[in-house]
Structure 1
């Protein structure tokens, strides 16, 4: 059997190991082939895996299913993949998401337990070497504070979804106040913000609550219906960082000098940005967002190597603060 055909057969076996198995239509779509080729592939599947089952589903389509134990060994995770789970867990730990980090580590151990015994020693040795090599990678600088009990309450409320009762101290508050919040998600950055609606206000405005300023959190039994029209990713894309202000939202245009252009092209300033390289080597970056103060904080690091073309309010804010003596760029 040609190598490419063997790879395709293993891919088909993986598809067929799912609970519902695989149909001819799905094979045609996955491998971009005609019906006769799909039929030949199922014939080969049965020859290589004799205990393949076939049945007709509720819609009248014939499906093939391979017992998962027969294909598990072919798809055991690599050392790189298992090490990536550990590194992801460490990253979540540094971001204060200790509960999620623990879940990733549990998944990692579960995967290793389910692996064939003969594969496990080699995997563990390779994983240890990889982690040792990658152990020099760290994220320096300030990190958000975290409280596992509050993180756990937020996670539980988000899954419900249930109303979350928090003792929260806003910037203008002398002491924490009790708020009942309908949680919709978390924004992760230099600080973590819980996004949600304040029950007491009775409006549909999404508000941000700094997680480190939540002194206590309790999941209530008050279930609420999420607004299906709300998209957290689209919502986050309306800001440069985490702060949002509808009055500030609009076109943002920055021009980087030819000297800074190579660095700017390696940056993603906004998920929906567009870039344009001019004849002189300078680079124009465009996106739409709000959060002028957070933009100022970032632009300061670029010194006089960036010019704000839009909006004028942002250009006025950075005027006089564009230094030319920084020895490096972000």
Structure 2
């Protein structure tokens, strides 16, 4: 019997043990096989001495003899690895561990006492982790499996990578994978430096036969925390003084998150027109101009002068492009009832150019 079928028979057995009576279509859906395959697998289990019974009628289905419990619940290496992704079935599937995770969960539940098994089932029914942010499609990561293989086996990974400033070819020593906000990053050593690479920007990848030695004491979580801290500290390069309308005061926390909320909380009192002065941390000048334009007419940039001038130039260019039609018919005013849902401009903690 090949391993694939053996694994499927074990999964079928564990499903009946964990859930009780199940119909052939239900088993086929869980195992992703045909109903006819389920019939053959049930016959194989019965022939091997497993007490599987078929109940006829509308409420019928397959079930195990009352009190029967298998002890074949030992986890394989891949199944044990997959348990660390138990709350993230999507990422587990991207790493090629989806089937291993499902089997590992079945085995774990089968080994638990009935009461704890029922508690685990309720938790799985009532809590779900959805890692990616809103309004963002999952990035294609065709080379994630190759990166994961290199990480597992400590093999050198040759990549063709797209940076902001051009494409490069490098040989990496992969140390780990990070899933941040639905985006995969590969942490790898290049010569004597550890850097982060966005997996979706890997244009080609080849796992080489060369192996490498993992740095002694390297802590992936600690590296990522420190890297993220450095990114945050270097992200803001100045401050913008804004005059916000009442609606702008509400928009800034929505558009800029915690930084915007803190800026609004420290704002001065409203003037006679309900406008408030806010000092908002900003990134580089091009990014800051983009951010100010997103606030539209609900914000006026008071300073610094170079930012105000850059925004004025951008607005003038937009006015030139979207000027009134030649017949001078006024355009339809924009609808300001719904804030712009576009995502923030984010600098990735990727390789330093």
Scaled to the shorter chain, the TM-score interval is 0.3 to 0.5
Q: Which has the higher contact order (CA 8 A, sep 6+)?
A: 2
